[in-house]
Amino acid sequence: MGIRHESTTSDTHARIHIEGLERDLRILHLSDSHLTEADERDPEAVPHAEEIGARFNDRTPEGQTAREVFEQTIAYAREQGIDAAVLTGDMIHFPAWAGIERVESGVKDLGVPALFTSGNHDWHFPYLEWSDATRQIHYPRLERLAGENPACHSIEIGGVRLVTLDNSTYQVSFEQVAFLRSELDKGQPCLLFIHIPIWTEALLPGVLDQWKAPIMMCASDGWTEETRSRWKVPGNDPSTVELYELLTQGESLNLAGIFCGHVHFGHAGLYREGRWQYVAQPGFAGGYRLIELLSS
Ligand SMILES: [Fe+2]
């Protein structure tokens, strides 16, 4: 399949030429808005909403709140005209109903088919243990954004398959790998949306500089015992390694690109020959990416 990425240093755009595409498509990718809304339905989260919200509001571009920046980005995307939108996690800092509803209403305002996959914050209240058990407990809340199976999902737009996998614990399951394989086997062009970037040599320096730990999926080098314990990444599950190998060496050439967030800076770089991984700048800082898929 003829797929060509236009080389870019842009943090807000990606242009990918795909041979035989039915029509040109524009897709909004948004990640890491870290909205901190909570009300009486989640009383334990309310004090955290104020404290953590103030922290993110200090990091927005022009003194707006993170919620105002989210709403501006939604309005901008509507003006641009898009065919679909994908949100790749940490859209909310914790799964209070008020935050879930805010994101839901933003997605509705876009008026196009949309996908959501979870980040490491969307399912985690700050006062709970950060674990897969906690994620499973909150999955039902995320169904409103992510559909009936928040672990993986896909939609088809103009002959292109948009696929999400929840890798927010730094791991994926064999079921998720099988899901991606079945999507790829359909033979159409695919885009993969995940929260945590996969390890690439190009991304490593920026991540280490910002986080002092290689917080990418399937990173082997650069961890210390202390950072592995702090980030709760004891190693790479065999299923996670299988996904990494499928993406970087396996029969996945109809996958045109990987789109993710998590590390809070923009980046675009190769993950295998001719195929790029794009990291979005965080939504709270005004970040987003418009993905243009071009038929010629
Ligand atoms: Fe994250």
Q: Could you report the per-residue pLDDT of 251-263, keeping only the tens digit for each? A: 999 999 999 999 9
Higher pLDDT, 8 or 167: 167
CA of 69 to the centre of ligand 1 (A): 18
CA of 8 to the centre of ligand 1 (A): 24
Q: Could you report the per-residue pLDDT of 24-58, keeping only the tens digit for each? A: 999 999 999 999 999 999 999 999 898 999 898 88
Local structure of residue 42 (DSSP, 8 states): S
- The amino acid that residue 105 corresponds to is S
CA of 11 to the centre of ligand 1 (A): 18
CA of 231 to the centre of ligand 1 (A): 11
- The amino acid that residue 95 corresponds to is P
Query: Which two three-digit tokens encode residue 250?
Result: 């396996």
**pLDDT score for 221:** 87
Q: Tell me: pLDDT of 1 over 80.
A: no
**pLDDT score for 63:** 87
CA of 168 to the centre of ligand 1 (A): 7
Point out which residues pair with 293 in neighbouring strands: 16, 25
Local structure of residue 217 (DSSP, 8 states): B
pLDDT category of residue 8 using cuts at 50, 70 and 90 = confident
Domains of the chain: 3-294 (3.60.21.10)
Q: Tell me: pLDDT of 296 over 80.
A: no
Q: Could you report the per-residue pLDDT of 146-171, keeping only the tens digit for each? A: 998 999 999 999 999 999 999 999 99
Q: Tell me, rounded to whole angstroms, the distance of Cα 62 from its chain centroid.
A: 24
CA of 232 to the centre of ligand 1 (A): 13
CA of 24 to the centre of ligand 1 (A): 31
The residue-averaged pLDDT of 76-87 equals: 96
Q: Is the overall model pTM greater than 0.75, yes or no? A: yes
CA of 122 to the centre of ligand 1 (A): 9
Residue partners of 223: CB distance under 8 A and separation at least 6: 213, 214, 233
CA of 5 to the centre of ligand 1 (A): 26
CA of 185 to the centre of ligand 1 (A): 29
CA of 98 to the centre of ligand 1 (A): 20
Q: Tell me: pLDDT of 228 over 80.
A: yes
Q: Could you report the per-residue pLDDT of 200-213, keeping only the tens digit for each? A: 999 999 999 999 99
Higher pLDDT, 51 or 195: 195
CA of 1 to the centre of ligand 1 (A): 32
226's enclosing H/E stretch is: helix 225-231
Mean pLDDT for all residues in the chain? 95
Query: Which two three-digit tokens encode residue 83?
Result: 């065919």
